[in-house]
Amino acid sequence: MSTVIKKIKLHNFKRFSDYVIEPNKEINILVGDNEVGKSSILEAIDIVSSGNIRRVESLGLDKLINIDAVKKFNSESRTFDNLPILSVELFLLGDFDYTMNGKNNSDGIVCDGIRLICAPNPDYRNEIAIVLSGDSDYFPYDYYSIRFSTFADEGYTGYKKKVRSVIVDSSSMNSEYATNDFVRRMYFQYTEADVKERANHKCDYRQMRNAFQVESLKALNNRIPADKHYNFGLKTGSAMELESDLMIYEDDIGIDSKGTGKQIFIKTDFALEHSGDNVDVILIEEPENHLSPVNLRKMIQRVAETRKCQLFITTHNSLISTRLELKNLLIMHSRCANQPIMLKDLSDETAKYFMKAPPASIVEFALSTKVILVEGPSEYMMMDKFYGTIAGCKPEKDNVQIIDVRGLSFKRYLEIAKHTGCKVAVLTDNDQNAQRNCTEKYAEYNGDPNIKVFFESDISKRTFEIVLYNDNTALCDSLFNSPAQDYMLNNKTEAAYILLSQEQPIVVPEYMKRAIQWIRE
């Protein structure tokens, strides 16, 4: 592995006032709710890696500078010295020369790195003061300067890249610009070691264009009257250069003619092929959006086999999160404003457990603030009704998630909850030994205020169905074949469905009632 990002610091960038990430050296899986800034992290890395001022200008500073910082400025002292500054810093590990090493960073420490600074231009101090005094709603984006520099305070551009990144964004996969940009980047990175080869390509390409104009268009231009001084020719300009006409082909078909899902797979595979040699950082935006289950598994396997570059992947997909190992998860919670929750200290046993049997709910659980875990489909089916009976509202109104997991998995989920700070109520059967199965089994979590196990203390009522029958005997006897309790035990989900289909009130088991009341506290 060549260059590695060891820390990312964002200040007044998009939704982040101050945000710090210390990523894993290999795989980083960013998960979070919508609008928490997952895509912004990838964009920040890619912008700073590019060293492209024009790109920042095209995106617009009004879209990049944190809106809360602008509002704060407008509500306080509107002076030049009080204007907010945007910065994105990448602290790096790698084999660099002296031009990368210095204290030109917000930590004030000597290390290698690069950064983007967008700040009011002091050359326009007087002009800025005039416009600020004249219009209380105006913000002087037009007077900001954009600078890319190393931590040694050396400027750099896209022609002197310090980090070689490539982005695969499913949301822009059908964009001609996105595809051309990907091909151009890969071309530059594959020819980086031999600049002479690149120059030869351009020379040969120009000669080919000139030959076409002179020879192939000659007969056509001869038919135009000489006194008109007109002729056909090829367009000129930077947009007509070699890189704009290049395309990557698979089996003689350009990737721009492929479906969106296939493009994602090819671009990811192509970028990974020479990662480390030509690419330092690969950024992948929600690949599951357009991939079939089979191709998603293939892509995950391809990524898992790669250890030559640093990867950042945003996703909502549990399969990606578990197959690429939960220890690589960076959970972006709205309640954690300054840094993501990282699961790198998760035990190997728990990480391997979820790799073998990835549940569909693991990302949902990781992002939750309150969860009720139940150990069977019948409990899951009934809990929504029980919650409404006790709380008078739906679980969603209280931001409570109800998740069905196998009883053997409870402790795996609870280990994750210890890292995320999620409040978790576990509903479990006593299986005729409440002391062993419900108390001693979860003793290690007794001191955690956010975790509590609820169960029926009467060991003669060993399962949920028996508890439910005893609390609703008359109703169950009227609905199910005799003996009703045996029917409920042998047809758990069917019995739950029938109970939910009738309008008579159902008595909520006491231990479930206590769990609902506790989770709402």
Q: What tokens were used for 335?
A: 């309640």
Question: How far is 259 from 272, CA to CA, in rounded Å?
Answer: 20
Residues 209 and 260 in one domain: yes
Residues 18 and 156 in one domain: yes
Is 115 part of any domain? yes
Backbone angles phi, psi at 101, to 5 degrees: -105, 125
Least confident of 40-44, 150-154, 302-306: 302-306
* pLDDT, tens digit (0-9, with 9 covering 90-100), for 418-456: 999 999 999 999 999 999 999 999 999 988 999 999 999
Residues 182 and 112 in one domain: no
Residues 232 and 376 in one domain: no
Residues 222 and 185 in one domain: yes
Residue 276's pLDDT band (cuts 50, 70, 90): low
Is 246 part of any domain? yes
What is the length of the chain?
521
Residues 57 and 199 in one domain: no
pLDDT of residue 433: 95
* pLDDT, tens digit (0-9, with 9 covering 90-100), for 146-173: 999 999 999 998 777 788 888 887 666 5
**Residue 13 CB neighbours (<10 A):** 26
Average pLDDT of span 309-326: 88
Which range of 216-220, 278-282, 371-375 scores highest in mean pLDDT? It is: 371-375
Longest dimension (CA), the chain: 108
Least confident of 59-63, 112-116, 139-143, 344-348: 344-348
Question: How far is 396 from 410, CA to CA, in rounded Å?
Answer: 22
Least confident of 291-305, 338-352, 471-485: 291-305
pLDDT of 492 > 80? The answer is yes
Amino acid identity, position 5: I
Residues 265 and 144 in one domain: no
Residue 459's pLDDT band (cuts 50, 70, 90): very high
Residues 159 and 172 in one domain: no
pLDDT of residue 23: 95
Is 112 part of any domain? yes
Residues 13 and 160 in one domain: yes
Question: How far is 15 from 117, CA to CA, in rounded Å?
Answer: 16
Q: What tokens were used for 12?
A: 């007044």
Residue 298's pLDDT band (cuts 50, 70, 90): confident
305 vs 392: which has the higher pLDDT: 392
Residue-range definition of the domain harbouring residue 439: 368-519
pLDDT of 48 > 60? The answer is yes
Q: What percent of the chain has pLDDT over 70?
A: 94
pLDDT of 239 > 60? The answer is no
pLDDT of 240 > 80? The answer is no
Using the 3D structure, point to which of 145, 164, 183 is the last residue of a domain. Answer: 164
Q: What percent of the chain has pLDDT over 90?
A: 55
CB 307 within 8 A of CB 1: yes
pLDDT of 381 > 70? The answer is yes
Question: How far is 191 from 189, CA to CA, in rounded Å?
Answer: 5
Pairing state between β 281-285 and 310-314? parallel
CATH code where residue 433 lies:
3.40.50
Is 216 part of any domain? yes
Residue 277's pLDDT band (cuts 50, 70, 90): low
Residues 223 and 304 in one domain: yes
114 strand-pairing partners: 90, 150
pLDDT of 308 > 80? The answer is no
Q: Show the DSSP H helices in 36-138 as ranges.
A: 38-50, 53-59, 61-64, 67-75, 125-134
pTM of the model: 0.82
pLDDT of residue 318: 85
Is 335 part of any domain? no
pLDDT of 189 > 80? The answer is no
Is 414 part of any domain? yes
pLDDT of 217 > 70? The answer is yes
pLDDT of residue 87: 97
Using the 3D structure, point to which of 116, 132, 164 is the last residue of a domain. Answer: 164
- Domains held by the chain: number: 3
Is 331 part of any domain? no
Using the 3D structure, point to which of 108, 142, 164 is the last residue of a domain. Answer: 164
**Average pLDDT score over the chain:** 88
Residues 107 and 250 in one domain: no
Residues 155 and 219 in one domain: no
